[in-house]
């Protein structure tokens, strides 16, 4: 009921049925955009592939360097005369500087994969930026350039982080062909995962190092066969900057 001032009294309010789902202030909370939404919104910054008009494919390798699998990947690429793109983890760069020097000497491109391989959306702004800038500094020590390419660990990133990276003139480079080599797959399985899905402009995800106990022998051993079949199909293997026509 209304009192003399025309304001509803508690008794009158109690007669109004409750909202079954609860008050909007409890449920209408902003939800982060999905990775698909982010890729759609930031097409020029958040990239999965290159132009399909170019009969080129970029092989990329995450989580390097280590002292076991990274040299084997480098050996395979050197034997085949292929230049690739390595997204390196900063604290591993500190642990294996000689391997990073080898990457640079053999003509590979180095990109930023964070300092500690953190799940970036879980970090504060300051912690996120430190993950990137600290690794940038390490990469610059060995390459002479500050990398424009960033690949977030697990492919995960949020909108504020994309905006900041864009302000720093960086490109976020994920992939559209996943070897799934981190599952410890066989040589045949890794090769099939790549060759069955690759097409002109593809960016292929593989790993040149991994977590504790991960076996990447499949990806090392699959490289010669993959490279041979791609070349037989008239595909040129290039670095990500070559594929995208941008500076490293």
> Do 135 and 93 touch, CB atoms closer than 8 A?
yes
> Do 150 and 190 touch, CB atoms closer than 8 A?
no
**Lookup: tokens for 30:** 């902003």
φ, ψ of residue 109 to 5 degrees: the values are: -95, 140
Indicate which residue of 66, 207, 215, 233 is catalytic: 207
Indicate which residue of 62, 63, 66, 136 is catalytic: 62
Q: How many CB atoms lie within 10 A of CB 119?
A: 12
Angle at 199 between CA 195 and CA 205, to 5 degrees: 60
57: enclosing H helix or E strand: strand 56-64
Query: Alpha carbon of 220 to those of 28, 111, 139, 150, 239: distances in Å?
Result: 49, 20, 24, 23, 18
Q: DSSP class of residue 61? A: E
Active site residue 215: no
Q: DSSP class of residue 31? A: -
Rounded to whole angstroms, the Cα distance separating 42 from 221 reads 36
Active site residue 199: no
**Residues tagged active-site:** 62, 207
């Amino acid at each position: 009921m209304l009192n003399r001032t025309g304001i509803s009294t508690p008794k009158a309010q109690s007669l109004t049925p409750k909202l079954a789902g609860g008050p909007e202030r409890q449920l209408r909370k902003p939800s982060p955009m999905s990775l698909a939404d982010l890729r759609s919104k930031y097409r020029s910054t958040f990239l999965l592939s290159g132009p399909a008009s170019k009969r080129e494919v970029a092989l990329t390798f995450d989580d390097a360097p280590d002292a076991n699998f990274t040299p084997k990947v480098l050996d395979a690429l050197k034997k085949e005369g292929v230049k690739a793109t390595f997204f390196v983890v900063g604290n591993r760069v500190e642990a294996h500087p000689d391997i990073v020097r080898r990457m640079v000497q053999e003509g590979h491109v180095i990109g930023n994969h964070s300092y500690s391989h953190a799940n970036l959306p879980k970090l504060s702004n300051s912690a996120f930026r430190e993950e990137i800038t600290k690794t940038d500094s390490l990469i610059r020590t060995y390459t002479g350039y500050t990398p424009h390419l960033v690949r977030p660990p697990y492919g995960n990133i949020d909108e504020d982080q994309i905006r900041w990276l864009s302000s720093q003139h960086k490109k976020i480079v994920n992939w559209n062909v996943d070897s799934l080599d981190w599952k410890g797959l066989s040589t045949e399985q890794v090769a099939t995962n790549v060759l069955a899905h690759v097409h002109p402009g593809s960016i292929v995800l593989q790993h040149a190092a991994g977590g504790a106990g991960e076996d990447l022998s499949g990806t090392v051993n699959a490289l010669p066969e993959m490279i041979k079949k791609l070349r037989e199909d008239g595909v040129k293997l290039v670095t990500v900057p070559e594929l995208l026509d941008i500076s490293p």
